[in-house]
Amino acid sequence: MSRKHLALYLIFFLVLSLAATACSSPTNKANDDEFGGTTPGEYTAEEPDTERKVIYSAYLSVTVTNVDKAVQDLDAKATSLGGYISESNRNHNKEYPTASITYRIPQTKYLEFLAYARSLGEFSTEKTDTTDVTEEYIDLEARLANRLVHEERLLEMLGKAETVEELLFVEKELARVREDIEVIEGKLRYLSQMVEMATVTVYLTEDPGVTEVPDLKPVGIRETLRRALKAIVTSATIFLDILSYLVIALAALLPFALPIAIIVGLILFYRRKKKQAQG
């Protein structure tokens, strides 16, 4: 195979690939008409459509009585639905604890998880978003099919190359096509994952006005005596602790007490002697 013929073959395949790619756009429009011509803005989180390629996401802000328990409940619910935690941020402030958890939930269980998250408390903010990637997905599939055909033809040409120059020329084009194939396949995998698993972020805050209700059940005489005895023992323990600290403090000051006493005694002695001399 001469280099001239090889170049003509490559030009022919490139033109064929471009023509096939251009034809993919009308195909996308036809698919839109087949599905009713729905635009991305017309999709809502209330009606997931598994036939089209739609990415669902939501953000909820919920006030609960106990953040730790709410997080445990959400984790358990996500796991039971086949989901998992994508990201977790916790603020363990004792007065105002918060948590922001991002979950990946199967699209078919998306609404069920949203309803459960709402039921945990009072939700002040809810934002849902849908992105229709059907056209992009179909376009990528068409481009992938074209590149695979191109790759197959290049492999045939590679086997027919007669010179080293022709061999290197075809291998360079083959490497470029295979790189395109890897990129397209990566995009398709990413879109498939985003479509299959919805993204739900739940921001939890704890109501500071909610306090634990004390146990006001009546107690018997025995329980009363037990509590009184416990209070006496506690008070005695505190008193003994204070007394022991005082003894320790005095013991620590004892080495300094004798020199101080001698100095004070000498001062008093000289003052008294001076007064007697003046009298």
pLDDT at 44: 42
* Mean pLDDT for back-to-back runs of 10 residues, the chain (279 residues): 52 52 43 37 44 91 92 95 94 86 95 93 89 93 94 89 86 92 95 94 80 49 78 82 81 76 80 73
Domain boundaries, the chain: 3-40+134-193, 52-133+200-206, 222-279
Token pair in block for residue 230 = 């416990």
Query: CATH number of 52-133+200-206: 3.40.50, 2.40.10, 2.60.40, 3.30.70?
Result: 3.30.70
Q: What is the 3-state secondary structure (H, E, C) of the chain?
A: CCHHHHHHHHHHHHHHHHHHHHHHHHHHHHHHHHCCCCCHHHCCCCCCCCCCCEEEEEEEEEEECCHHHHHHHHHHHHHHCCCEEEEEEEECCCCCCEEEEEEEEEHHHHHHHHHHHHHCCEEEEEEEEEEECHHHHHHHHHHHHHHHHHHHHHHHHHHHCCCHHHHHHHHHHHHHHHHHHHHHHHHHHHHHHHHHEEEEEEEEEECCCCCCCCCCCCCCHHHHHHHHHHHHHHHHHHHHHHHHHHHHHHHHHHHHHHHHHHHHHHHHHHHHHHHHHHC
pLDDT at 7: 54
pLDDT at 42: 37
Token pair in block for residue 7 = 């170049």
pLDDT at 40: 34
Q: 204 exposed, middle or buried (CB, 10 Å; 0-12, 13-18, 19+)?
A: buried
Taking a C-beta distance cutoff of 8 angstroms, is the pair 72, 209 a contact? no
Token pair in block for residue 134 = 């059907």
